[in-house]
Amino acid sequence: MARPRFSFKITILVMFAVLTLGLSTTMLYVNYARNSEATVLAADNLLEQVASKILGATEQMIEPLIALTETMALMPGIEVAIDANAKHPLAPVLMAALERAPQMASAYFGNRVGDFFRIAALEGDREAARAVLKAPSDAMFAVQSIVADAERRRDARWRFLDAKKAEIGSRIDVNTAYDPRTRPWYIDARSAPGTIVTDYYAFASVPSVGLTVARHIDDGNLAGVFAVDLTLSSVSKYLAAVRASQLPGTKNAEIALFHLDGRLLAHSDKDSFERVINAAASPRIPTVGEVGAGVLAPIVERFRGEGAARIHLADAKGGDWLAHVAKLPAAFGEDAYLAVAVPREDFLGPLARTARQTLLISLVIVLAFLPLVYLMANAIAAPLDRVTREIERIHNMDVVPGSPIRSAIAEIQDLADSLAQSKFMLRIFGKYVPRNLVQQFIETGTEPVLGGERRRLTVFFSDVRDFTTMSEELPPERLMLLTSEYLEGLVEVILANRGTVDKFVGDQIMAYWNAPTPNPDHVTDGCLTVLRCRNWSNARNAEWEREGQPILYTRFAVHAGDAVVGNVGSADRMDYTVVGNTINLGSRLEGLNKIYGTQVLISDPVADVVAGKFAMRPIDKVLPKGAVHPLRLFELLGAHPDWADAPADLVVDRATIDHCARWSEIYDLYLARHWTELLSALGDYADANPGDSVAALYHERVNRFIMEPPPDDWDGIIRYSEK
């Protein structure tokens, strides 16, 4: 039974009618969405304004501390030695500064001999500090000094002052271990050229965490560091006041300072923030997930990933939040930020309540249409998606047959049938023309024309030993099957290594690299390919020999040089190929394998490029028939083990490397005409490497030179007059 087919145009019209009907019933939702967007936009702007005000205020919180630190470093009297009785001429100045800047917890300085003087503010809600310091309940200031006595014992002396600066108590911590020189604020300030702001840390004497503003003082023997502390609790107190004044209708709003590494630096819920800080034996900085409704952690995570200032997200309980993130002044740290977050419901609650019923009706209508829309969209999209993937495969010259594409829409089915026919034609065409060449023409949209260009190429030649004799002994049908399997195996290796197969001449293969697609590593790829072809051929021959089949022992050569590459032929019948003396020389070099008994020969233009990557040994200096300039020949053995990117399947062992090095020494003796020493070395080499055909050839050659020495102008070049 024939598959039903429908017009693509009719399908589009039906879908348009269905979608129009569905959209007409969702206008109420659109209106609600627009009103919501306007409300959310207004809320985002409000959060941005609040954040801007907080940023200005936070800068005003730390700037006075920086100004005080820089001023105190220049104040007369800073050089006065620290008094063991916790007194100092600058104490009134510091207490006045602490009163004017309630965010400042303490001011202090330490010198190079470890003496220390500090004034800490105890007014307001710093009950925890009073308890730790054992200060009277009405103490407003705690003054501390640490000075080593004659016996180098260091006692910490405390004086407690009331609001009128009158002493109301004191105590001594005998032999304290506190040394300002070991604290991070002292170390960092001493090595910095100006005022520094530390990272956040737990303070030594009071149960709090915060940061320190410090500056070194260079004043002879009393050189040291002056510093002031800013507690995170004081910042949280300010954030709580901002939430109450700037966001009065949003009781669940959260304002926080955080670091990108997840540390929570301050929070508008001051009480919860301080409880987490003091929950353990020693103060610690909370993380963003420990205070509040749990929305800060996802806000920080989203901001780290996207970097957007405006963030809309849901918390762990499903509540929607609007948030604004802004970078804090540099003094608060490189990656410190402010976040202002408000539940979306606080802004959209009234609007949502009035529109919820209408929205529910609209959603029901839309959901009723979704199955039909899905089925119709799938009927069009699924076949078109397969057609798109097939076109991509053709673009990449992947023309392997696949399962047929079926569609009920006539136009799509016609397109699929045409595509299948195109794949078939390209598959046939690709068996006669290099696929990468066709792919290049397709990608560039270039029309192939007659002509060529000069380009540096690496050429590859292979030939089967005694193939002519074998072809006379085997039936043609068997020979054809054997040769086809052999050629197919080598061609797969060449193509897998970015090579272009140019032609077959009987059992011979000619291939090249760096055309038609440019390849900067063409020489290396050529060497890797010839080694893999050698390994494949030798392995297949071993299988054939076990099966009682004839073997096709193959010899290879790789050469590099300039050649002309392009299209030759006529306007309607072209052949993409390479021509030039480089090609002729590559073919001549492959034939020299028969003379030297080698399997893979490369020329010096190849060896010079891949030196250090491959194991090779020098074979001879030759002038092949038709050549103008002599070439140095090398036997390519495998990838060098010291090459970091060497393929594991081609790496030779150290014995092979030693073998090459020993032969190179022998070859140097040959070039130096040290015949007697060379003859002895060849004998030792032959004993260690029996059956080495190159050593046997040189042994015979040296004996001949001893009997009949070459002329004085002998250059070591062997000239061949035959192919």
For residue 716, the 8-state DSSP code is S
Please tell me the distance from the alpha carbon of residue 94 to that of residue 106, in angstroms, as a whole number: 9
Kindly indicate the confidence band of residue 205, based on its pLDDT and cuts at 50, 70 and 90.
Answer: low
Instruction: Give which of 137, 89, 98, 146 is closest to 120, Cα–Cα.
Output: 98
Phi/psi at 372 (nearest 5 deg)? -65, -45
* Extended strands (E) in 506-657: 508-513, 554-570, 573-579, 600-603, 614-623, 631-639
User: Given a cut of 70, is residue 419 above it in pLDDT?
Assistant: no
User: Given a cut of 90, is residue 519 above it in pLDDT?
Assistant: yes
Please tell me the distance from the alpha carbon of residue 383 to that of residue 391, in angstroms, as a whole number: 12
User: Given a cut of 50, is residue 9 above it in pLDDT?
Assistant: no
Q: Cα angle at 513 between 511 and 519, to 5 degrees?
A: 165
Which is more confident, 603 or 260?
603
User: Given a cut of 50, is residue 151 above it in pLDDT?
Assistant: yes
Average the pLDDT over 135-161 and give the result.
87
Identify the structural domains of the chain with CATH numbers, from first to last. 41-60+234-348 (3.30.450.20), 78-231 (3.30.450.20), 447-643 (3.30.70.1230), 653-723 (no CATH)
pLDDT tens digits for range 361-415: 656 665 665 565 556 666 666 676 666 676 666 666 666 677 777 766 777 777 7
pLDDT tens digits for range 179-201: 888 888 899 998 888 899 988 88
Those residues whose C-beta lies under 8 Å from the C-beta of residue 475, and which sit 6 or more positions away, are none
Average the pLDDT over 622-649 and give the result.
93
Beta bridge partners of 464: 554
Average the pLDDT over 689-708 and give the result.
92
How many CB atoms neighbour CB 632 within 10 A? 17
pLDDT tens digits for range 640-695: 999 999 999 999 999 999 999 999 999 999 999 999 999 999 999 999 999 899 99
Kindly indicate the confidence band of residue 307, based on its pLDDT and cuts at 50, 70 and 90.
Answer: confident
User: Given a cut of 90, is residue 210 above it in pLDDT?
Assistant: no
User: Given a cut of 70, is residue 621 above it in pLDDT?
Assistant: yes
User: Given a cut of 70, is residue 121 above it in pLDDT?
Assistant: yes
pLDDT tens digits for range 43-102: 778 788 888 888 887 778 888 888 888 888 777 767 666 777 777 888 888 888 888 888
What secondary structure, in 3-state letters, does 428-456 show? Answer: HHHCCCCHHHHHHHHHHCCCCCCEEEEEE
Contact 335, 261 (CB under 8 A): yes
Strand 717-719 and strand 614-623: the pairing is parallel
The torsion region of residue 466 among left (phi > 0), alpha (psi -120 to 50) and beta comes to left
User: Given a cut of 60, is residue 526 above it in pLDDT?
Assistant: yes
Please give the model's pTM, rounded to 2 decimal places: 0.47
Phi/psi at 641 (nearest 5 deg)? -65, -20
Q: What confidence score (pLDDT) does residue 600 get? A: 97
Please tell me the distance from the alpha carbon of residue 225 to that of residue 129, in angstroms, as a whole number: 23
Whether the bond between 690 and the residue before it is cis, its omega within 30 degrees of 0, is: no
Please tell me the distance from the alpha carbon of residue 142 to that of residue 292, in angstroms, as a whole number: 33
Q: What confidence score (pLDDT) does residue 8 get? A: 46
Grouping H, G, I as helix, E, B as strand and the rest as coil, residue 584 is helix
Q: Cα–chain-centroid distance for residue 717? A: 52
Please tell me the distance from the alpha carbon of residue 349 to that of residue 277, in angstroms, as a whole number: 35
Please tell me the distance from the alpha carbon of residue 213 to that of residue 106, in angstroms, as a whole number: 11
